[in-house]
Structure 1
Amino acid sequence: MGCGNSKVPLEASKKGYVGVVQSLVAFSKAHNDRPCDEPKKCLEKQRGAWFSTGVKSHQQTSNSQQLILRDGRQRDKAAKYKDKFDPRVTARYDIKALIGRGSFSRVVRVEHRATRQPFAIKMMELEAPEGREVCASELAVLQRVSHTNMIQLIEVFQFPQRVYMVLELATGGELLDRVVSRGHFTERDATQALRMVLAGVRYLHNLGVTHRDLKPENLLYYHPGADSRLLITDFGLATFGGTGPELIDNNTTDEGDRTGTERSWSLRTTCGTPEYLAPEVLLRRPYSCAVDMWALGVITYIVLSGSMPFEDDSRTRLYRSILRGKYSFHGDPWPSVSNLAKDFIQRLLALDSATRLTADQAICHSWVVTMAASSSTRNLHRSISQNLRQRASRSSSRCPSSTTSSCDVGCPGK
């Protein structure tokens, strides 16, 4: 359900686009029979990666067996953590499986004992000061948001050592799971998904909230049906700040400066996922909710092509590319992608945050408004899948441990 966020130091690992590798390892092994250096670690991390649904169609038997084994492991882990849950929580909810973990949290799938309705519970540890700050920040945001394209907080159990957040359980898979599994994908399909994301982001920004960790892994469909709504999840790095009509003018805050004339609050903390970081964050300059719009530009690029605009095994070179705004529209499927779609991406990936599209402006962009009516109806699915597969084939043989853990840039207290 997208709430197992882990806030770890920048040096700890690499994630983002690399997440697709984890889900394509099994596909590459099925075709190339190349064993991974760490097979156990790879197997355990395939869940929750970009490509899990698409890969399933290629190896149903193998994946079915893996799912059975994985479900058994999850139940074992759930039983292990069940003892840590307060009896007042387990009296109301039946713990079913562990589905995620973070530095200060565990996320389990549960079932309401009376209604049998499934939910997710995020258990936050409060012993460490950092854990208390992270919990307070995330809870403050979740208690304020209520939107059809946001994961919803159902109820909260608060105790001295732990907080239990009961959340909606999104079962429809990640955004790119849906792109790949449907077998046919056009620019019109892309705009349908992006309109839901933009609606959610506009709501957040108008509320004065900056998400700071938008990426495909945090965009989940509520259910598997074609009419499912797309949800923005994982508010572990979200904070009040950036811009918004509800912000109160003041001189300074712990996080940044507020300017009364512009009614803006400049954030300062460096956090997020490396491949999606906006230039102003890397430069450690005060920033606004425009960083979310940069991330949406990266997401749009990925959704339309299956590749990343900024990618490099070296963090230094990756950040240098971002700071230069160095990306291209070369290779498939870009020759068949409309100029309007490319213009939309370029306006989001503007180095100057002041010229970057806001959420309101992005929703009104011609490509989004017309739902790509003037664009080619070419099926982009093959190119997207091929680009993802090529990236996986280059990385599956080494399967380093760095690709199997979270790499969100540490953001203590936020």
Structure 2
Amino acid sequence: RNSPLEEKREYNPAPFLPSLPPMGASAGKHAFELDARPVENFYKVGSKLGSGKFATTYAAIRRADARPVAVKVLEKSHQKFKRDSALAEIASMARLGDGHPNCVTMLCCFEDDLSISVVVELVPGGELLDRISGNRCLPERHAAGIIQQVLSGVEFLHSVGITHRDLKPSNILFVSKDPESPDYNRVKICDYGLAHQSRVSGIRALVKSADPMSTMCGSPLYMAPEIARSVIRCRQSKDEISEPYTNLVDVWSCGVILYVMVCGYQPFTQWVDLVHCEVPFDHPEFASVSREAKDFISTLLSEDTRRPSATRALKHAWLEDFVVAPAEPVASARDQQPKGVRGIKSRIRHAISAPLRQRTPRRLEGDGGSSFGSSLIMSPHDAQDIILRGRRTDDASFSPTDSGGATGSGGTFWSSKS
């Protein structure tokens, strides 16, 4: 039986594979070419893996060598399709070149009258939050191995001039689901829909002040305080002028991810706590967490003027004390949990006050968001209303949008400013 894509076009085999030209830091905004030939010439597209608001992902096999891949298809007939937004994400992925062991890379991309098809490596091991959702928390050794890989991937992204800006458990994928596989605990960063392309790369891109950004974007529960403060100023000043920030916002997100891994709770459920960088360590789970681990979390979740780069963070004593976590599976604690103890996903949902949890975010027309992601988007006005509620009441907290995915960890916020 033909795949959904093959039903549209006649198959014409080709003897060679398409490839993208290298994209340097000085290349143009969209300095690459989309192959005009049918994707089916080179890939046998099979079953659907999943679908979001703008894209459908299929499993596929590369005809030349039978390599399993994933193909994201963006239908141009979709009312929300924006070619420029799709090209922006493709351009970010093209910058990765041959890639990094902890970053999902793009193999090639195609365009015809009906759709844009992006071929990426297949990472079938599931999301980080899915892996740990049945446990109250992860052992330090496992958490150290995971965050070490994430920071290594972030260091690479920053070295090529890419700031991810939306790091969260749903955007960290495991390579394998097989506990016997050596790749069982290996992770990769995915989803570059909110990524920023710097005008510089290499050593210059690792400098904190290089090419600052100002767009207010990210997932509220993982958003750095310098962005959150800009949202407040934006609303109070009646315009969208925001202070610049750097790629250190990715390091902050890594700190939140590590906090969730070691204790199973979100560090910030009140915007006022976030903007003041007040990290709580009062959950009972922290009684068994080492002082070095808490020091590392505090270091990552510090003000941007004191926050380390990804390169410096990788040299922290806590990480150097641990090797990458062994490949044994983490035993599920789901059945051993006392009555009333919620799993991580449920904890995150219930940390949000009911009135704010019921808010329906709206997507801004003409925003600079990605066409690939499934996250919903809230406007600066909505975000500011949430912040003000959090400052007025004790029970009001973040109102992350429901992404409709498996994380329960909040959707993505994106302003109308690009």
Distance 1:79 1:159, change over 3 A: closer
- Give how far 1:393 is off: 8.8
Residues 181-330 of structure 1: pairs in structure 2 closer than 5 A: 185-225=138-178, 226-228=181-183, 229-241=186-198, 244-245=201-202, 264-282=210-228, 283=230, 284-311=242-269, 318-330=270-282
Matched, 1:124 2:74: yes
Query: Residue 107 of structure 2 aligns with which residue?
Result: 154
**How far does the alpha carbon of each residue in 1:193-212 deviate from its partner, in whole angstroms, 9 at most, with x for none?**
11111111101111111001
- Partner Cα distance (2:347, 2:45) in 1: 37
SS at match of 1:364: coil
**Partner SS for 2:218:** coil
- Cα pair distance change 1:112/1:372, threshold 3 Å: closer
Alpha-carbon distance in 1 for matches of 2:9, 2:148: 38
Native 8 Å contact 2:151 2:251 kept in 1 = no
TM-fit CA distance, 1:245:
3.1
Pick closer, same or farther for the CA change 1:275–1:393 going to 2, 3 Å. closer
Q: 1:103 to 1:247 in 2, by over 3 A?
A: farther
Shift of 1:323: 1.1
Please tell me whether residue 97 in structure 1 is matched to residue 97 in structure 2: no
1:130–1:413 Cα contact (<8 Å) kept: no
Q: 1:330 deviation in Å?
A: 1.1
Going from structure 1 to structure 2, the CA distance change for 1:265 and 1:409 (only over 3 Å counts) comes to same
Q: Match of 1:245, as an amino acid? A: G
Residues in 2 aligned to 1:412 and 1:104: alpha-carbon distance in whole angstroms? 19
Q: How many angstroms does 1:99 deviate by? A: 3.1
Once residues 291 and 308 of structure 2 are traced to their aligned partners in structure 1, the CA distance between those partners, rounded to angstroms, is: 17
* RMSD of aligned Cα (Å): 3.8
Cα distance in 2 between the residues matched to 1:198 and 1:360: 8
Q: 1:235 Cα deviation (Å)?
A: 0.8
CA distance in structure 2 between the aligned counterparts of 1:276 and 1:86, rounded to whole angstroms: 46
TM-score (norm 2): 0.64
Distance 2:9 2:291 in 1: 53
SS of residue paired to 2:158: helix
Q: Which of 347, 357, 360 matches 1:391?
A: 347
User: Which has the higher mean CA deviation after the structures are superposed, 211-220 or 158-167?
Assistant: 158-167
Matches within 5 A, 1:9-158: 88-113=38-63, 115-125=65-75, 131-145=82-96, 146-158=99-111
CA distance in 2: counterparts of 1:404 and 1:233, whole angstroms: 16
Aligned pairs, number: 313
Q: Which amino acid aligns with 1:138?
A: E
Q: CA deviation at 1:380?
A: 10
Structure 1 pair 276–86 and aligned structure 2 pair: CA distance change class (3 A): farther
SS where residue 166 of structure 1 aligns?
Answer: strand
Alpha-carbon separation, structure 2, partners of 1:184 and 1:275? 18
Q: Is the aligned partner of 1:347 residue 2:299? A: yes
Which secondary structure state, in structure 1, belongs to the residue aligned with residue 255 of structure 2? Answer: helix
Q: CA, structure 1 residues 84+289, in 2 after alignment: closer, same or farther (shift >3 Å)?
A: farther
**Where does structure 1 lack aligned partners over 5 or more consecutive residues?**
1-74, 249-260, 312-317, 374-378
- 1:335-393 CA-partner distances (Å, limit 9, x unpaired): 1111111111111111x2121121011100000111189xxxxx997599745266279
Instruction: Give the partner amino acid of 2:49.
Output: I
User: Can you give the 5+ residue segments of structure 2 that lack an aligned partner in the other structure?
Assistant: 12-37, 231-241, 325-329, 361-400, 406-410
Report the CA distance between 1:155 and its aligned residue.
1.7
Q: CA deviation at 1:110?
A: 2.2
Q: CA deviation at 1:153?
A: 1.1
After superposition, give the CA deviation of every residue in 1:3-43 in whole Å (9 maximum; x if it has no partner).
xxxxxxxxxxxxxxxxxxxxxxxxxxxxxxxxxxxxxxxxx
- Distance in 1 separating the partners of 2:103 and 2:9: 26
Closer/same/farther in 2, CA of residues 322 and 380 from structure 1, 3 Å limit: farther
Percent identity, please: 29
SS in 2 for 1:237: coil
For 2:18, the equivalent position in structure 1 comes to none
**Which residue of structure 2 lines up, in the alignment, with residue 252 of structure 1?**
none
Deviation at 1:269, TM superposition (A): 1.1
Determine the structure 1 residue equivalent to 2:21. none
Classify 1:358/1:262 alpha carbon distance in 2 versus 1 (closer, same or farther; 3 Å).
closer
Select the structure that is richer in helix: 1
